Amino acid sequence: MNLFIFSFKNIRRRKVRTFLTIIGIGIVIAVFFSLLSFSSGYSQSLGKEFSSFGIHILAVPKGCPYEATSLLLHGGEMNKTLNYAQFEEVAKNKYVDIASPLVLIHTNVNSSNYKTAVYGIENSLFKLKPYWRLNGSKFSSSLSHEAIVGANVAKDLNLQIGDKIYLTEKKIEVKVVSILSFNGTSDDNFLYVPLKFAQDLLDKSDVITAIAIKVKQDAPIGMVSALLAQIPDVQTVTYTQVQSTLNNLVSTAQQLLQVATVFTLLIGVIGLINTIYMEISERKKELGMLKAIGAKNEQLFSLIIIETSIIVLIGAIFGIILSVGFSQSIEFFIRKLIENAPPGRLANFTTTSIVLTIIISIIIGVISSIIPAYVASKIPPMEVIRNE
């Protein structure tokens, strides 16, 4: 008796029950696969976002440096500021290679319906972001009413090089001189204008939001950070410190997701065992007759396990397709819950995760079917026939 062919025939005979079982398994696997993919993808996106900032040290006003760094990355509003005297102290440090001041403001663009962050920058920032690809030119001067536009902003507002946009309620006219090529980071979501012009928008010529710093080659970043932190009212945070903090936060979130994943799989296992038990109860006559005509206990045991494995495999494939299909909707929901979620795709669908999901699904199917399969193999054939 070819158990695989026999199993397929049995599955096809019970179309409605098989279909409903596959749907149930598919939903459980879709949840599991989504948790696995989004956990990995979120961590990678977060790491990519911070590494794209292109600095060794960030000098910010006294307070919480990690909060300030997060706000700078995502264009959040910062209440505290630095001044030029502090900037000059940072810039003249012998271990500092590049010190680039930043001014962060929020403004409406063209209408009150579109608001975004505007960064006032100097040309030194281009050295900290060598991956930037400008479709256009740099600023003609430090006071020019010109803007470099992130890819997403240009798309949202349908902007082209040479177009005019209007900032703030005063409708200050600004010319688009360049559009950034899409790079999948927060840079795509903002406008960049000359530093002096940004300060004029705030009517504060001495204001600096933060200072992006690159240290000289071979200079100890930790030591330089400690030296700069001695400047009054200045606090520093290094790439390593923020990366470590972000990794700890992501690790904690992943642990919670792992707990949720375990409970999801447990629900799936219980539901699958219940389904198999019901199926065996309905097939007692059939299984008893198979034993009566010579089927061995181990053959019936293998038959139940193979049938379950086939159904679970189909359910797993269906669940993975379901997860990928609804990934954008899930991502939209996550971004609504987490306002400062990193840009780019949050789901990381890899061949490894797909294979791992399928293997885990089959293992769960086998484990779930062991006890029911054992019960099926012990059905007394004569008792079944006598009851009929």
Residue-wise pLDDT for 129-139, tens only, equals 888 889 999 99
Nearest CA to 353 out of 312, 316, 326 is that of 316
Task: Give the pLDDT band of residue 284 (cuts 50, 70, 90).
Answer: low
Quote the CA–CA distance of 126 and 180 in Å, as a whole number.
12
Among residues 188, 122, 186, 183, the alpha carbon closest in space to that of 154 is found at 188
Partnered with residue 172 across adjacent β-strands are 167
Share of the chain above pLDDT 90, in %: 17
Greatest extent of the chain over all pairs of C-alpha atoms, in Å = 99
* CA pair distance 299, 319, nearest whole angstrom: 30
pLDDT classification of 75: cutoffs 50, 70, 90 = low
Per-residue confidence band for 54, with pLDDT thresholds at 50, 70 and 90: low
Instruction: Output helix, strand, coil percentages for the chain, rounded to the nearest 5.
Output: 60, 15, 25
Number of neighbouring beta carbons within 10 Å of residue 94: 8
* φ, ψ of residue 114 in degrees (nearest 5): -125, 110
pLDDT of res. 175? 94
- The confidence score (pLDDT) of residue 70 equals 61
Per-residue DSSP letter, 115: E
What lies within 8 Å, CB to CB, of 337 at 6+ separation is none
For strands 210-215 and 57-61, give the pairing.
antiparallel
Tokens at 200, concatenated: 């004029």
The more confident residue out of 148 and 268 is 148
Write out pLDDT tens, residues 321-368: 988 888 777 777 766 665 555 556 667 778 888 888 888 888 888 888
pTM (predicted TM-score): 0.60
Reference 220, options 42, 19, 57; nearest CA is 57
Rounded to whole angstroms, the Cα distance separating 299 from 344 reads 51
Q: Which of 159-173, 190-204, 211-225, 246-260 has the lowest mean pLDDT?
A: 246-260
Q: What are phi and psi of 349, to 5 degrees?
A: -85, 115
Ramachandran category for residue 184: left, alpha or beta (phi over 0 → left; psi -120 to 50 → alpha):
left
Q: Which residues of 12-25 are buried (b: 16+ CB within 10 A; e: fewer)?
A: eeeeeebeebbebb
**Are the beta carbons of 75 and 189 closer than 8 angstroms?**
yes
Spatial neighbors of 234 by CB under 8 A, at least 6 apart, are 59, 60, 61, 62, 82, 86, 89, 90, 228
Handedness of CA 356, 362, 364, 370 (dihedral sign): negative
Is the per-residue pLDDT at 147 higher than 90?
Answer: yes
Q: What backbone phi and psi angles, to 5 degrees, belong to 178?
A: -160, 150
Classify residue 108 as exposed, middle or buried by CB count within 10 Å of its CB (0-12, 13-18, 19+): middle
Highest mean pLDDT among 54-58, 235-239, 268-272, 310-314: 310-314
Write down the pLDDT at residue 174. 93
- Determine the Cα–Cα distance for residues 324 and 181; give it in Å rounded to an integer: 27
Q: Single out the residue of 231, 181, 212 nearest to residue 104, CA to CA.
A: 212
- pLDDT band of 74, cuts 50, 70, 90: low
| Cβ neighbours of 222 (radius 10 Å) | 13
Whats the size of the chain, residue-wise?
388
Q: What is the pLDDT of residues 210-246, one digit of tens each?
A: 898 889 888 888 888 889 989 998 888 887 666 666 6
Contact status, residue 71 vs residue 105, Cβ threshold 8 Å:
no
Asked if 366 contacts 305 with a C-beta cutoff of 8 angstroms, the reply is yes
Q: Please give the pLDDT value at position 149.
A: 94
